[in-house]
Amino acid sequence: MLKVINVVGARPNFMKVAPIAEAMRRRGREFAPLLVHTGQHYDARMSDDFFRDLGLPRPDVHLGVGSGTHAQQTAAVMQRFEPVVLEHKPDWVVVVGDVNSTVACALVCAKLNTRVAHVEAGLRSRDRTMPEEINRLLTDQIADLLLTPSPDADENLRAEGIPAERIRFVGNVMIDSLYAQLERASRSRVREDLGVKGEPYAVVTLHRPSNVDERATLARILAALERIGERLPVIFPIHPRTRARLDEFGLADDVRAAEPRLRLTEPLGYLDFLRLMSGARLVLTDSGGLQEETTALNIPCLTLRENTERPITVELGTNRVVGTDADRIVREAFASLDVRRESAPPLWDGQAADRILNALLEKQT
């Protein structure tokens, strides 16, 4: 019986850990899981709603770290996670994705000689100004088992000198959640509530510091969204960080003036967002997860960044990396509306969680 601590911290972690926690529950003779929430995300709409929607168990331990600078947040997770590992002495700690909680918990484990597995290992944007790229690089250097979502990730790790026996290609566990929840999501009334049922619409999400922390960039993107809104309504569930910047930069009134072409909503839960996204004609985003989910759903996606750590979504999928120039965004948006493409990267099949569990068992013996 393997004792495993699964770590979640921020919104994009929840849909990656849910299928792993569920598979461990199902395989209760082989696994004794504990769930630790670092508290990096703490608002109901950024955290609790996802536990409900994804059927995640209540965390066994909540570290309650909250917001702060990168150093404060990372240090707070480390300080509070170390005693948890010392107390429970797990066989494995599983960390996912690339948020500050991921690297903080991996580093605690490496120092305590506790085995740590990284799910979604090997992705690289090659842009070290992104905090997530630093988290990815460091976590992969110190983790004992690197579980990758796509073959390009294996290549990146090998190129960094990581021995092949630490790397295992398991596929994309976030797509397990997507397939598992699509039917439940179909009962959401979000399209009706937002007044877009039966008509074409676009969905946008933005939260990267590089897009929202500088006024000129954010204003440029908003101008593009307003122009797209003249063709079809653009629904914008807004991340708390982005909401705060709109107010700070005095852009909130401009956005309100663009209603109803551009419709702001609070951040949505997993099922509502899945329902909204799956009916969209187009998604515009700077999120990593959405690039993958739109690939799995065959929805055209424009990535409003200069690079992506998920090139398979461009090569095999529906994604285009278009930057933040307003004219280019509008041009690409209109050109994408009628694009349809079948896309199924290998092992994005809804079965990644069981492969992750098998890899933990095999590596243990």
Nearest approach, Cβ of 10 to ligand UD1 (angstroms)?
Answer: 4
- Report the chain's C-alpha Rg in angstroms: 20
Distance (Å, whole) CA 69 – CA 297: 35
**207 touches ligand UD1 by CB under 6 A:** yes
**Contact region with ligand UD1 (CB under 6 A), list: 24-32, 118-126, 233-241, 291-299:** 233-241
Size, binding site for ligand UD1 by CB under 6 A: 20
Distance (Å, whole) CA 236 – CA 165: 43
**72 touches ligand UD1 by CB under 6 A:** no
Listed in sequence order, the residues at least 6 apart from 206 whose beta carbon sits closer than 8 Å to its beta carbon are 212, 218, 221, 236, 238, 239, 242, 285, 286, 304
Nearest approach, Cβ of 363 to ligand UD1 (angstroms)?
Answer: 26
Listed in sequence order, the residues at least 6 apart from 36 whose beta carbon sits closer than 8 Å to its beta carbon are 5, 6, 7, 8, 59, 60, 61, 62, 63, 81, 84, 105
319-338 residues in contact with ligand UD1 (CB under 6 A) are none
Nearest approach, Cβ of 246 to ligand UD1 (angstroms)?
Answer: 13
3-state secondary structure (DSSP) of residue 202 = strand
Residue 53: Cβ within 10 Å count: 23
DSSP bridge pairs for 148: 169
**Contact region with ligand UD1 (CB under 6 A), list: 18-26, 97-105, 176-184, 248-256:** 97-105
Query: Measuring CA to CA, which residue among 359, 304, 361, 365 is closest to residue 121?
Result: 359
3-state secondary structure (DSSP) of residue 319 = strand
Nearest approach, Cβ of 61 to ligand UD1 (angstroms)?
Answer: 18
234-273 residues in contact with ligand UD1 (CB under 6 A) are 239-241, 244
Nearest approach, Cβ of 16 to ligand UD1 (angstroms)?
Answer: 12
Catalytic (active site) residue 207: yes
**179 touches ligand UD1 by CB under 6 A:** no
Residue 47: Cβ within 10 Å count: 20
131-150 residues in contact with ligand UD1 (CB under 6 A) are 131-132
For residues 123 and 167, which CB has a smaller minimum distance to ligand UD1 in the complex?
A: 123
Burial class (CB in 10 A: 0-12, 13-18, 19+), 75: middle
For residues 35 and 130, which CB has a smaller minimum distance to ligand UD1 in the complex?
A: 130
Mask of contacts with ligand UD1, 36-65, x by CB under 6 A? ----xxxx--xx------------------
C-beta separation of 126 from 163 below 8 A: no
For residues 241 and 328, which CB has a smaller minimum distance to ligand UD1 in the complex?
A: 241
For residues 47 and 343, which CB has a smaller minimum distance to ligand UD1 in the complex?
A: 47
Q: Which residues bind ligand UD1 (CB under 6 A)?
A: 10-12, 40-43, 46-47, 67, 98-100, 131-132, 207, 239-241, 244
Give me the active site residues, please.
Answer: 207
